[in-house]
Amino acid sequence: MLSLEDFFAYGEAGYSHVPIWQSLPLPPGVEAISLYEALANCGQDYLFETGHYQEGVFEQTYSVIGLPCSQRIELDEGVLRLYRDGELSIRTECGDPLAELARVQKDFRIPHCPGLPPFSGGFFGYFGFETTRLIESRLRRVPRKPSGFELPDVLQLISTDLIVLDHRKRLAFCIVHECPKALGDYQNGLDRLNRMVAHLRPLLVAPAPRVQLTEVTPLGAQSAFPQPAFVEAVARIKDYIAAGDVMQVVLSQRMSLPFEEDAVALYRSLYDLCDTPYRYLLNLSDCQVVGASPEMLFRQEAQTVTTRPMAGTRRRGNAVAEDHRLKEELLADPKEIAEHMMLVDLSRNDLGRLASVGSVHVTQLLNVELFSHVMHIVSTVTGQIPDHVSGLELLKSIFPAGTLSGASKVRALEIIAELEPHSRGVYGGAIGYLDWNGRADLAIAIRTALLHDARLYVQAGAGVVQDSVAEREWQETMEKSQLIRVAAGRCEALAQHQEVAYAFNDR
C-alpha cells in the first residue's frame, strides 16, 4: 500500500492523481464476471478480460473490473462532451475532437508505480467505426446514414477505481486514484480502498458449477441487409475493383433478434462457449456492449506496438481430422492468402507512419488459429515508436483495421458508407483502454453484441475481392455471427432450464 509520505511526494512532483492500492491472494477458480455482477453492474462500468494462446493452450492474463465511473467523455463530429455524475459538465465545439480528447488525457498526470498491473486506471470505452470521420476529413464529405442507435462516435469512461485480477501472479489488486492536495485526500482514498477490499474479500471464492448444455441451436436473426441487396452490393464492389478504384472492401450486415436476458447472462454464455484473446462487457445503463473478440487492433507497451491482422476464414470442423482438412484448404486458397498478405502490408504501412525507421517487422506470418466456431489466418506485426507518440496518435494512424475496411483504406471506407444501409456504430471499431502512462490495449469490435430495448444486435463482415463469390461472402458473415447467436440461444435455454427446475421444486 502506498504510504502517506509517498503520496505527498508524488503531489510535490506535479502529479495530478496518485494510485493507492492493496493486493489480495487470488484463489483458483474465481470468475471475474461474478465479481463484476456483485460489485458493479449498475451503469457506467465495465469488465475487460485478456488472454492468449501458448502452444495451443489458452492462458488468461488479466481481468479488469471497472467500478462505476463518475466521469465519461463523448465525441461526435465537431464536439466533445464531458459528463460528471450523469450531468453534462463541459461541451466543447472543436475541429478535431480527438485532439481535444488528447488534451483531457494530458490533464491526468499519474506516476508509474512498479508492481501494478499494465492497466491500473485511465480511459476505457469504445471508438466506433465512424471515428474514421474524425480522423479523415475526406470522409466527412460523404453523406452519413443513421446507425439506428443514439450512441456517440466515441465514448470513454474515466476509470479511477478498479479491481484487476492478475491470473499469472494469482493476485487481486484493488486500486483507487486520489488528488494529492491535502491530508484529507489521502484519507478519502484510503477509506474508498478499504471499503473496496472489504467488499471484495468474501467474494474471492470459486463459483458453484453451472449447468452445461451439450447442444444449442444458434438463434435466427432478422437481417437489416437482406441477401439479394447484399449480393448486389458485392457486384458493385467488384465493379469498383475492376475500375481500379480499390483492391478490397469489407462488406458487413447487421442482424437483430429479440433478447430478454441481461448482459451478464450473455457474457457468461460467451465465457463458457469459447476462449478468446478479448472479452468485454461495457454497461452504459440504457444499452450494453458484450463481446468476445479474437482480434487486436493494437497493443502499446512502452515503445513496442503490436498489431495482429486476421483475415481468411473457415468454419470449425466436427473433429480434429476435419479441422486439419479445413486448415490445409484455407492455406491452399489463393484468394484467402492474397487477401491476407494485402492486409499484412496495410498493417505494416499503418504502423510504419509512426514507428522508427527499420523497426517494423512481421514476426509471425500465416498462422492458423482455431476459435470456437471458425478458424482464421493470423499474422503478427510489431514496431518501435518514439517516446512522445501516444496511444491516440497510434489510433489515428492505424484505425480502422484494414481487416474491417479494405484497401486502399479511405476509398474502401467511402464505398462502405455508400453501400451498407446503416452507419456501423460500435461494430468494426475498437474497445479497450488507453492508460495515463503510455500503455494501450484495444480489441477490434467483432463477435460483439449490442443489447438495447430487449433486442440483440450483431454485425459481421466479409472481405470482397475481384474473384469473390457473393453467396460465399454472405455465408461467411453468417458463420462469423454464429458465436453470438449460439450464446444468445444458450442464455434462453438456460433460462428455460431454470424455470423448469424452479417449477419442479415448487411442487
Query: Looking at the domain assignment, is residue 336 inside a domain?
Result: no
β-strands 162-166, 57-66: how paired? antiparallel
pLDDT band (50, 70, 90) for residue 243: very high
Q: Are 121 and 158 in contact (CB under 8 A)?
A: no
In this predicted structure, the answer to whether residue 156 has a pLDDT above a threshold of 60 is yes
Question: What phi and psi values does residue 438 have, to the nearest 5 degrees?
Answer: 85, 20
Give the model's pLDDT for residue 502: 32
Q: Which three cell numbers stand for residue 484?
A: 453470438
| Alpha helical stretches, state H, 459-481 | 470-480
Name the residues annotated as catalytic: 376, 403, 427, 447, 463
Query: Looking at the domain assignment, is residue 308 inside a domain?
Result: no
Q: Name the domain count of the chain.
A: 1
pLDDT, tens digit, 9 for 90 and up, residues 272-305: 998 899 999 999 978 999 999 999 999 999 889 9
231 by DSSP, 3-state: which? helix
pLDDT, tens digit, 9 for 90 and up, residues 445-461: 999 999 999 999 999 99
3-state secondary structure labels for all residues of 97-148: HHHHHHHHHHCCCCCCCCCCCCCCCEEEEEECHHHHHHHCHHHHHCCCCCCC
In this predicted structure, the answer to whether residue 371 has a pLDDT above a threshold of 90 is no
432/435 Cα distance (integer angstroms): 10
How many of the other CB atoms lie within 10 Å of CB of 322?
12
484/473 Cα distance (integer angstroms): 18
405-408: long-range contacts (C-beta < 8 A, 24 or more apart)?
A: 405/132, 405/249, 405/250, 406/246, 406/247, 406/248, 406/249, 406/250, 406/463, 406/464, 407/246, 407/247, 407/248, 407/342, 407/343, 407/346, 408/246, 408/247
Give the model's pLDDT for residue 311: 85
Query: Looking at the domain assignment, is residue 214 inside a domain?
Result: no
Query: Looking at the domain assignment, is residue 28 inside a domain?
Result: yes
Give the model's pLDDT for residue 145: 95
> What single DSSP character describes residue 68?
P
In CATH, what number is assigned to the domain containing residue 180?
A: 3.60.120.10
Mean pLDDT of 98-124: 93
**How distant, in Å, are the alpha carbons of 2, 16, 76, 182 from that of 346?**
45, 39, 27, 51
- Residue 268's domain comprises 4-205+220-303+387-506
In this predicted structure, the answer to whether residue 250 has a pLDDT above a threshold of 50 is yes
pTM, two decimals, is 0.93
Give the model's pLDDT for residue 39: 95
pLDDT, tens digit, 9 for 90 and up, residues 266-278: 999 999 998 899 9
Query: Looking at the domain assignment, is residue 117 inside a domain?
Result: yes
In this predicted structure, the answer to whether residue 195 has a pLDDT above a threshold of 60 is yes
Query: Looking at the domain assignment, is residue 215 inside a domain?
Result: no
Q: Are 464 and 234 in contact (CB under 8 A)?
A: yes
pLDDT, tens digit, 9 for 90 and up, residues 310-346: 888 888 888 999 999 999 999 999 988 988 998 899 8
Q: Which three cell numbers stand for residue 311?
A: 483475415
Query: Looking at the domain assignment, is residue 373 inside a domain?
Result: no
Mean pLDDT of 134-152: 93
In this predicted structure, the answer to whether residue 189 has a pLDDT above a threshold of 50 is yes
Q: Are 36 and 65 in contact (CB under 8 A)?
A: yes
Query: Looking at the domain assignment, is residue 23 inside a domain?
Result: yes
pLDDT, tens digit, 9 for 90 and up, residues 387-411: 888 899 999 999 999 999 998 999 9
Mean pLDDT of 207-217: 73
